[in-house]
Amino acid sequence: MGKKRIVTKTEKELLEEREKIEAKVRKEVKVEVPRKIKEGRVYIFSSYNNTIITLTDLEGNVLDWTSAGNIGFKGTKKATPFAASKVAEFLVQTAKKLGIEKVAVLIKGIGSGRESALRSLAARGLEITSIKDVTPIPHNGCRPPKVRRV
């Protein structure tokens, strides 16, 4: 079969990749502001494959959303805590432009990006009024299959 090789990236390639991702995060966000909103809600959905963060007003109207795939992460990198923190940074930029200062955070899902996205929201200057976990939990679940007869 031959010898197996593990491809490792050099430090230069890793830095170039990181700069590319941060350039996409820093890109100019064009948002039309209908009115100044001071408070909003942030929904964090973190699955095994991706992290999606949605910014809404108090009525639930979506103001902006972004995901790890939307920023530029591909494949298994979308599910990492680093990608989730970059998604949160990107959303905070939009929230600042809209004038939102206080947010209530609702977290759903079981992925690895939950904690890092929340920490990144707090670190970037958004005042978090409440944190609620809205992950659905089955109370009894589906009916089990019939007993197998051999």
Mean of the per-residue pLDDT values for the chain?
87
Q: What is the pTM of this model?
A: 0.74
- What is residue 89's predicted lDDT score, i.e. its pLDDT? 93
Return the percentage of the chain with pLDDT > 90, whole number: 63
- What is residue 31's predicted lDDT score, i.e. its pLDDT? 55
Closest CA to 42 of 94, 96, 102, 106: 106
All structural domains of the chain, each given as residue ranges with its CATH number in brackets, are 36-133 (3.30.420.80)
For the stretch 77-101, pLDDT in tens is: 999 999 999 999 999 999 999 999 9
- What is residue 105's predicted lDDT score, i.e. its pLDDT? 96
pLDDT higher than threshold 80 for residue 36: no
